[in-house]
Amino acid sequence: MMDALQHRGKDSAGIAIYNKSPSASDEYILRLFTQDVIGAASQVSTAIAKAGGDIRSIQLNHVNGFGFDRYLIKTRKENLEEIVHEINSTKVSRVLSVGRSMEIIKDVCTVEELDKRFKISNLNGTHGIGHVRFSTESKVDLFHAHPFQSFNYPDIAVVHNGQITNYYKTRDKLERRGHKFETENDSELIVHYVADKLENGSDLEEALSESVKDLDGPFSYIISTSDAIGVAKDKLGLRPALVMESDEIFAIASEEVALRTLEHIGTIRNLKPGEVLTWRK
């Protein structure tokens, strides 16, 4: 599906994929981007331990002179923010994703290159989201590539097409509520907005409906959690979002061509302006 949408942008490509959570309730998967320098792994291990984490396993993956490493750690949820801070403070490594069941894999490359580097086609999972990017506002680098997540709320990720024109006003409100932003990309705002709603008792459909009312500008976005996926379209319907639905599959894309690549018989339709849909596993 992503390959069929490659023409929409070649700045970066990425996925968030979901699988079974680790057996222990206090185990988390970290994906890190690490410089290939002597002692980097030791610095990361020390940072995790300092913040109250216990490393269970490490997979070191070197790609083009950098490490895209996978750590399984045991820690309390309230320690995650400090663990991310300590790792990022090493200056040799930076956290890409934190999740119980979710892993984010992304890079500044095409879909074909992403697949070759990380063997995306060989991965298994229950559900996932993906994105190819054409940058219109924020910088082009690995950390501004989609999907985005909030490290305060593991297992929530978003991919987004459009602009949030009341970004600064909404970001200020969320920061006052304790949300910490990692980038200047307006797509990250959506994760924090939805996570804030979920933390305060809304279900996913309610959170998405509220976002259509509160967020201004042309947008459509797909958001995923450990057991659900949702899609929302701006109230004026200025950005495309199509869904395919049958008894066997739910799929969402910005163009019909991506849905047709599935070679699956199902109903395809455009979302209406302001419409939201959610599916639960």
Quote the longest CA-to-CA distance of the chain: 54
How does pLDDT run across 180-202, given as a tens digit for each residue?
Answer: 998 888 999 999 999 999 999 99
Of 215, 198, 203, the C-alpha closest to 274 is 215
Range of the domain at 192: 3-20+108-280
271 and 159 co-located in one domain: yes
What is the model's pLDDT at position 137? 66
Predicted structure pTM score:
0.92
142 and 197 co-located in one domain: yes
What is the model's pLDDT at position 138? 63
Interatomic CA distance for residues 10 and 23, integer angstroms: 38
What is the domain-level CATH number for residue 74? 3.30.70.60
As a whole-number percent, the residues of the chain with pLDDT over 90 amount to 78
Interatomic CA distance for residues 218 and 236, integer angstroms: 7
What is the model's pLDDT at position 139? 75
DSSP E strand stretches across the chain = 12-18, 27-35, 54-59, 62-63, 66-74, 93-99, 102-107, 127-133, 148-149, 157-162, 219-224, 228-233, 242-245, 250-253, 267-270, 276-280
127 and 25 co-located in one domain: no
16 and 68 co-located in one domain: no
Q: Say whether pLDDT at 71 is over 90.
A: yes
Tokens read off for 258: 């991506």
Split at pLDDT 50, 70, 90, the class of 177 is very high
**What does the pLDDT average to over 242-258?**
92
Between the CA atoms of 143, 87, 155 and 170, what dihedral angle is there, to the nearest 10 degrees?
-60
Of the three residues 41, 71, 100, the one that is the final residue of a domain is: 100
254 and 169 co-located in one domain: yes
Q: Say whether pLDDT at 134 is over 80.
A: no
63 and 88 co-located in one domain: yes
How does pLDDT run across 74-133, given as a tens digit for each residue?
Answer: 999 999 999 999 999 999 999 999 999 999 999 999 999 999 999 999 999 999 999 998
Q: Say whether pLDDT at 52 is over 70.
A: yes
Q: Which residue has the higher pLDDT, 151 or 43?
A: 43
What is the domain-level CATH number for residue 225? 3.60.20.10
The reply to whether omega before 147 is within 30° of 0 (cis) is yes
261 and 127 co-located in one domain: yes
Q: How many domains does the chain have?
A: 2
93 and 194 co-located in one domain: no
Of the three residues 77, 100, 123, the one that is the final residue of a domain is: 100
Of 29, 152, 15, the C-alpha closest to 98 is 29
Split at pLDDT 50, 70, 90, the class of 281 is confident
Of 215, 117, 138, the C-alpha closest to 182 is 138
Least confident stretch, 63-67, 137-141, 214-218: 137-141
Of the three residues 100, 119, 144, the one that is the final residue of a domain is: 100
How does pLDDT run across 210-226, given as a tens digit for each residue?
Answer: 999 999 999 999 999 99
